[in-house]
Amino acid sequence: MHIGVLGLQGGVAEHLEMLSRLSDETINPIEVRTPPGLRQCDALIIPGGESTALRILLDAAGLTDPISSRMQQGMPVWGTCAGMILLAQKVLYHQNLSLGGMDITVARNVYGRQQESFVAEFPIPELGGPPFPGVFIRAPGVIRTGDGVQVLARSDDQVVACREQHLLVTSFHPELTDDLRLHRYFIHMCTAACAERAH
């Protein structure tokens, strides 16, 4: 199974490093920068960075439509921070950022500027174990979740992680911690999606 990390901007190396720590003979992390690269992937992580820049680079690389259509066909995709913004069906005040995807509305920079970045711990019951260390860097907020969306975590009453079928979003940066649980969770989502397709 090839799990791609979109390699245009942002926390690319960190996600690849987390995946390589979880790799075995069945998991193969690859960096994706082109449509042929995307075609090799069974799943994709869209890292954090700057959503406006990411969207411009996606358009220039010819990846916007191919990612949207693979997503509609059921390819598992995980968006962290700016990646979450691109995966939200609606982005407050921005009509041209979304790639479609999850039935949520997000607002950019709800926690303020770079200097207001912080780390908060909160439980993610699906993962079990101790609270998760969430690194928030000019993070977006989820301000509406559709009926089919499962809220995986809240921090101070704010929704910070959600899942809808094969799509996962987190407003924080698990790739900047030593905690591999969310990457492991995504790999399980990918394995389940692959198994379903094989039926």
Which positions are annotated as active-site residues?
81, 173, 175
Q: Report how many residues bind ligand GLN under the rule CB under 6 A.
A: 12
- Per-residue contact track with ligand GLN, 33 to 72, x per CB under 6 A? ---------------xxxx---------------------
- What is the DSSP secondary-structure string of the chain? -EEEEE-SSSSHHHHHHHHHHH--TT-EEEEE-SHHHHHT-SEEEE--S-HHHHHHHHHHHT-HHHHHHHHHTT--EEEETHHHHHHEEEETTBSS---S-EEEEEETTTT-SGGG-EEEEE--GGG-SSPEEEEESS--EEEEE-TTPEEEEEETTEEEEEEETTEEEESS-GGGSS--HHHHHHHHHHHHHHHHHH-
What is the nearest approach in angstroms of ligand GLN to the Cβ of residue 94?
Answer: 9
Could you say whether residue 141 binds ligand GLN (CB under 6 A)?
A: no
* Residue from 10, 14, 192, 150 nearest 83 by CA: 10
Binding range to ligand GLN, per CB under 6 A, among 20-28, 59-67, 135-143, 156-164: 135-143
What is the nearest approach in angstroms of ligand GLN to the Cβ of residue 124?
Answer: 19
Binding range to ligand GLN, per CB under 6 A, among 13-21, 120-128, 133-141, 181-189: 133-141
Binding-site member from 109, 119, 146, 188 for ligand GLN (CB under 6 A): 109
Could you say whether residue 166 binds ligand GLN (CB under 6 A)?
A: no
Could you say whether residue 149 binds ligand GLN (CB under 6 A)?
A: no
Could you say whether residue 137 binds ligand GLN (CB under 6 A)?
A: yes
Binding-site member from 82, 87, 142, 167 for ligand GLN (CB under 6 A): 82
Could you say whether residue 81 binds ligand GLN (CB under 6 A)?
A: yes
* Residue from 34, 30, 61, 54 nearest 44 by CA: 30
What is the nearest approach in angstroms of ligand GLN to the Cβ of residue 168?
Answer: 15
CA 5 to chain centre: 10
Binding residues for ligand GLN, per CB under 6 A? Answer: 48-51, 81-82, 85, 108-109, 137-138, 140
